[in-house]
Structure 1
Amino acid sequence: MRFRTALATLLLTTVALSGQPAVAAAPATIAHAQRTQTWKLVLTNGNVVQVPEALTEAPDDAANAGARAPFLVSGDGRHFFYFRKSDGLFVERTLSGGERVVSPRLTASSINEEWPLVSNDGGYVVTGTSAPGMGIFADLRKGKVLPPPGGTDAWAFAGFSPDSDRLLLAGERLTVFDRGLRARTRLKTSLSPTALANDHVTAAVPVGTWRKYRQLRLLDLRTGRASGTVTVGLPRGQYIDDLDFDQAGRVIVRSRTATGVAVYRVSTTTGKATPLRKITRPDVEVWVLPGDSTYELWTEKAGQAPRK
């Protein structure tokens, strides 16, 4: 979900993140987060920001003690989110600001029972849950946690639009909601899209076997019409691991490689995959790119099984 920053050549300089931030004057965003013993942010200017306040694992009294604690970066690379050590609350932060609690309901005790997902602008957080349905809907712009739409949590999250103004949820019908959770478009379909464009009508649907997707279709959420299936011209052994739209409405694919991640712009008529960038995975236990969900295939080192 939602990758827009490039990783600069790293000239690692440690920057403290306490009091008034030292990096406020630098026009840098977050290139990626990485974890060894603690979490760190690697910026696009090469600086490294320590985040010792962030939990790395669920505490002993959590339902899943020892499970990896989520750490997320918004797609624009300007916001980061973590469960803080002091009280276990899930908080949002920028490089130039202090912590802001997302919702007092979202705590470290729910790690691996509830999974936060962040909009591209870092201003909206939703959570999926281990039970069917959704947890919280938090609009950080307005400082509100909203009740689930329709009075039911029986939704599945399908995606944010890149402009962060719409959410696509799946239930009995695919429904596009605005940030106030007012329904804008509804469609009954058997297709399962995973991305919504900025026109708030076009959705992208991966086609094939899970984790080995190499094809896609576009779906018009207003008319219900779907395009023909397009085979994406990825290199052999690579698959559509993440499907999204950019701000201009072009389809973007991220694909795990032997050394990290490759990002492509894909023609929805020919399937041609134009390489945009390749990112080499740092030699750390865990890393997170802007726009990642709680777990992505490239999060782990090659050959390492996903941690529960």
Structure 2
Amino acid sequence: MRHPTRPISMGMIGLALSTLTISAAAAPAAATAHHSIRYASVDACTAKDGTTTPCHTWRLDLLDGRRVALKDAMLWPLNAKGKTVKELQAPLSVSGDGESVAYFRKSDHRLVVREFHGAAHAMGPVHVMPKKALPRGVGMDDAWLRLSQDGARLVLGYSVKDGSSRARIFDVAGASETGALRAFDTFRGFSGDGSAVLVEQNTEENTTGLGVYDTGGDELARVVPPQIVAANVPWALSSDDRTVAFVTGGGTKARLRFYDAMADQAGGSVRFSLPPDASIDMIDWTGEHEVTLHLVRSEKVDRVTILRVDTRTGKTRVRDSYKVRAGTFSYQSCGG
């Protein structure tokens, strides 16, 4: 199967983690979680020649174990010439709160965000973004989507011929573009409150740069961070639009560290513990003093543990834990 196809890369693969276990790992905090969608996924089908492709339809796996088909979402993307690319799944993103999902609509190929009201397990209102969301000459197969934690903001990113990326930022409720991001390399996420975005920008000196922009596309900070920051992705941006969180080490020696992107200064750290044999797929600020980590163990299928970390004490709590369904081609977990 394939791992999550996300605008951020899998981080810290192969950490030398100890055999420590988290006591709450066997008891997910599903009862206190307000999220509705755990993850979205598409099935894998194998042809006679052995080729594996996405098939059937996007489905939403819910916290209560139920599964809902997202029938109006495009399964396969269109390339720049309007041809279907059946080797890939079409872009899709789930908001961090699990209550919104963004995708290209099957009927008219419009970019939409659908609210999902988990309490009633019912599809909610659909917000339709402006026509021609992608520029001429760019196909959906070169695009990706990312919703903010609360689903109020959406980034549509895409690659261009020189290998760099561009992006448009949308206000979901207003179904309008608020700004654009020019050349960058990797999108690292929204700030905790969705007021800014964090990107990675390689420099002409072949160093790793870090950029913070507001949702209008205006630059708030641009800096070449220390190697300890650059070498330890993924990153997460706080709601203050300047504090970047990241993790170093593993097992009992793991540390959640902080970096001030505007002052270009280290901001301290707290020690916490990571479970064995896991890699960090996502990191998000989910509160003033809370960072949430998505940990993945890859066996025949991925096992996902969502861990909340107190940024003041390092105390951890498991919010959820689940196994991705067998036979999955690709999946998109909710964010924070």
- TM-score, normalisation: structure 1: 0.70
Distance 1:179 1:141, change over 3 A: farther
Which residue type is aligned with residue 225 of structure 1?
Answer: Q
- The equivalent residue for 1:169 is 199
Asked whether 1:129 is paired with 2:136, we answer no
Which residue type is aligned with residue 58 of structure 2?
Answer: W
- The equivalent residue for 1:143 is 175
Distance 1:102 1:80, change over 3 A: farther
Shift of 1:227: 4.5
Shift of 1:199: 2.4
Distance 1:170 1:287, change over 3 A: closer
Secondary structure of residue in 2 paired with 1:98 = strand
Distance 1:248 1:228, change over 3 A: closer
Q: Conserved in 2, the CA contact under 8 Å of 1:64 and 1:111?
A: no
- The equivalent residue for 2:39 is 32
- The equivalent residue for 2:128 is 100
1:257-282 per-position Cα deviation (integer Å, ceiling 9, x unaligned): 35621122335577664433322323
Distance 1:267 1:48, change over 3 A: closer
Which residue type is aligned with residue 100 of structure 2?
Answer: H
1:149-194 per-position Cα deviation (integer Å, ceiling 9, x unaligned): 5xx4346422211211221234466343222233334444243462
Q: Conserved in 1, the CA contact under 8 Å of 2:127 and 2:175?
A: no
Q: Conserved in 1, the CA contact under 8 Å of 2:75 and 2:90?
A: yes
Secondary structure of residue in 2 paired with 1:97 = strand
Q: Which ranges of structure 2 fall in alignment gaps of 5 or more residues? A: 1-5, 7-27, 44-55, 116-122, 204-208
1:112-164 per-position Cα deviation (integer Å, ceiling 9, x unaligned): 31222221122222234332122322222433224535xx4346422211211
Asked whether 1:197 is paired with 2:238, we answer yes
Distance 1:83 1:47, change over 3 A: same
- TM-score, normalisation: structure 2: 0.65
Q: Which ranges of structure 1 fall in alignment gaps of 5 or more residues? A: 9-26, 293-308
- The equivalent residue for 1:159 is 189
Q: Conserved in 2, the CA contact under 8 Å of 1:177 and 1:183?
A: yes
Shift of 1:97: 1.0
More strand as a share of residues: 2
1 CA distance for matches of 2:191 and 2:246? 14
Distance 1:35 1:186, change over 3 A: closer
Secondary structure of residue in 2 paired with 1:96 = strand
Secondary structure of residue in 2 paired with 1:226 = strand
Asked whether 1:245 is paired with 2:288, we answer no
2 CA distance for matches of 1:232 and 1:90? 40
CA RMSD of aligned residues (A): 3.6
Q: Conserved in 2, the CA contact under 8 Å of 1:92 and 1:102?
A: no
Number of positions where the alignment pairs a residue of Structure 1 with one of Structure 2: 266
Distance 1:58 1:177, change over 3 A: closer
Higher mean displacement: 40-49 or 231-240: 40-49
Higher mean displacement: 83-92 or 187-196: 187-196
Q: Relative contact order (alpha carbons < 8 A, sep ≥ 6): 1 or 2 greater?
A: 2
1 CA distance for matches of 2:197 and 2:183? 14
Distance 1:128 1:208, change over 3 A: farther
